[in-house]
Amino acid sequence: QVQLVESGGGLVQAGGSLRLSCAASGQTSSRYTMAWFRQAPGKEREFVAFLTWSGRTTYYADSVKGRFTISRDDAKNVVFLQMIRLKPEDTAVYYCAADADIGLSTDYVRYDYWGQGTQVTVSL
């Protein structure tokens, strides 16, 4: 099993930047596809980005493409989500997730492990 803890959320003005971190502990030697999802009030959990265990493949939701970048530091067992040019519609709780089947899925039901989430609020 792996435990995930997100950090880095906060309040930012539109056009600003934030970097989210997801620290992994436990069976971090295993291979996982790592992803970020988000959930706004009253809405379903939404895929944001994933990164394969090799780091070679990334994929982004159209809504964040060109503004968000997912990356990982394997030495520190941390996954990042760099967010720039933030918009009010990016406001949500952001969750880090791990897929033990190392798939290439944008469906949250395919992910096995989740963090507790970190709030991102973008004001006008």
What pLDDT, on a 0 to 100 scale, did the predictor assign at position 22?
Answer: 97
Q: Pseudo-torsion of CA 112, 113, 116, 118, nearest 10°? A: -90
**Confidence at residue 101, expressed as pLDDT on a 0 to 100 scale:** 84
Q: What mean pLDDT value characterizes the chain?
A: 94
Element (H, E) at 79: strand 78-83
CA distance linking residue 115 with residue 57, whole number of Å: 22
CA pair distance 16, 32, nearest whole angstrom: 30
pLDDT in tens, 62-114: 999 999 999 999 899 999 999 999 999 999 999 999 998 878 899 999 999 99
Whole-number pLDDT of residue 115: 97
User: What pLDDT score does 49 carry?
Assistant: 98
pLDDT digits (tens, 9 = 90+) for 5-45: 999 999 999 999 999 999 999 887 678 999 999 999 999 99
pLDDT of the residue at 96 = 97
pLDDT digit string (tens) for 54-73?
Answer: 888 999 999 999 999 999 99
